[in-house]
Structure 1
Amino acid sequence: MAKKNQNEMSFLDHLEDLRWLLVRSTVAIIIMAFFTYFISDYLFDVVIFGPTRPTFFTYTFFCELSHTLGFADSICITEMPFIIQNTEMEGQVNVFIWICILAGFILAFPYILWEIWKFISPALYTNEKKNAKIFIFFSSLLFFLGVIFGYFVVIPMSVNFVATFTVSDMVKNQFTLDSYIGMVKTSVLASGLFFELPIIIYFLTKLGLVTPTFLRTYRKYAIVLVLIIAAIVTPPDVVSQTIVAIPMLLIYEASIWISVFVVKNKKD
Structure 2
Amino acid sequence: MPTTAEAKKKFFSRLKNSPQSEAVEMSFIDHLEALRWHLVRCVLVWMLFFIAIFVKVDWVFDNIIYAPAKSSFVTYGWFCDLSHFLRLGESLCMPAVEIPLQGNTISGPFMSALSIAMVGAVVVAFPYLFWELWRFIKPALSPKEIRYSRGSIYWVSLCFFTGAAFGYFLLAPFTFNFLANFSLGTTGAYKYMPTLTDYIDTIT
**TM-score if structure 2 supplies the norm length?**
0.81
Q: Which of residues 120, 124, 127 in structure 2 aligns to 1:107?
A: 124
**Over residues 121-141 of structure 1, what are the superposed CA-to-partner deviations in whole Å (9 max), with x where a residue is unaligned?**
011112443567611111111
Task: Find the counterpart in structure 2 of residue 27 from structure 1.
Answer: 44
Task: Find the counterpart in structure 2 of residue 244 from structure 1.
Answer: none
Q: Is the 8 A contact 1:82 1:172 kept in 2?
A: no
Q: 1:3 to 1:101 in 2, by over 3 A?
A: closer
CA distance in structure 1 between the partners assigned to 2:192 and 2:100 by the alignment: 7
CA distance in structure 2 between the partners assigned to 1:154 and 1:21 by the alignment: 34
1:164-183 equivalent positions in 2, closer than 5 A: 164-169=181-186, 170=188, 171-183=190-202
Instruction: Kindly tell me the number of residue pairs found equivalent between the two proteins.
Output: 185
Task: Find the counterpart in structure 2 of residue 240 from structure 1.
Answer: none
* Structure showing greater Rg: 2
Amino acid in the other structure paired with 2:37: W
Task: Find the counterpart in structure 1 of residue 7 from structure 2.
Answer: none
Cα drift, residue 178 of structure 1: 0.9
1:54-69 equivalent positions in 2, closer than 5 A: 54-69=71-86
Task: Find the counterpart in structure 1 of residue 153 from structure 2.
Answer: 136
Amino acid in the other structure paired with 1:177: L
Determine whether 1:121 maps to 2:125: no
**Over residues 15-36 of structure 1, what are the superposed CA-to-partner deviations in whole Å (9 max), with x where a residue is unaligned?**
2222222222111111011112
Task: Indicate the percent of aligned positions where both proteins have the same amino acid.
Answer: 36
Q: Which of residues 177, 180, 184 in structure 2 aligns to 1:163?
A: 180
Cα drift, residue 44 of structure 1: 0.6
Q: 1:108 to 1:161 in 2, by over 3 A?
A: same
Provide structure 2 residue ranges, at least 5 long, that are not aligned to the other structure: 1-9, 11-17
Amino acid in the other structure paired with 2:50: A
CA distance in structure 2 between the partners assigned to 1:71 and 1:38 by the alignment: 45
Cα drift, residue 77 of structure 1: 3.0
Q: 1:35 to 1:81 in 2, by over 3 A?
A: closer
Cα drift, residue 85 of structure 1: 1.1
**TM-score if structure 1 supplies the norm length?**
0.63
Cα drift, residue 6 of structure 1: 6.2
Provide structure 1 residue ranges, at least 5 long, that are not aligned to the other structure: 186-268
Q: Which has the higher contact order (CA 8 A, sep 6+)?
A: 2
Determine whether 1:184 maps to 2:203: yes
Q: 1:3 to 1:102 in 2, by over 3 A?
A: closer
Amino acid in the other structure paired with 1:29: W
Cα drift, residue 164 of structure 1: 1.1
Determine whether 1:51 maps to 2:79: no
Q: Name the stretch that deviates more: 1-10 or 18-27.
A: 1-10
Task: Find the counterpart in structure 2 of residue 70 from structure 1.
Answer: 87
**Over residues 140-179 of structure 1, what are the superposed CA-to-partner deviations in whole Å (9 max), with x where a residue is unaligned?**
1111111111110111111111111111350333111111
CA distance in structure 1 between the partners assigned to 2:34 and 2:19 by the alignment: 11
Which structure's residues are more often helix, by fraction? 1
CA distance in structure 2 between the partners assigned to 1:73 and 1:3 by the alignment: 62
Determine whether 1:83 maps to 2:100: yes
Determine whether 1:149 maps to 2:166: yes
CA RMSD of aligned residues (A): 2.3
Q: Is the 8 A contact 1:83 1:173 kept in 2?
A: no
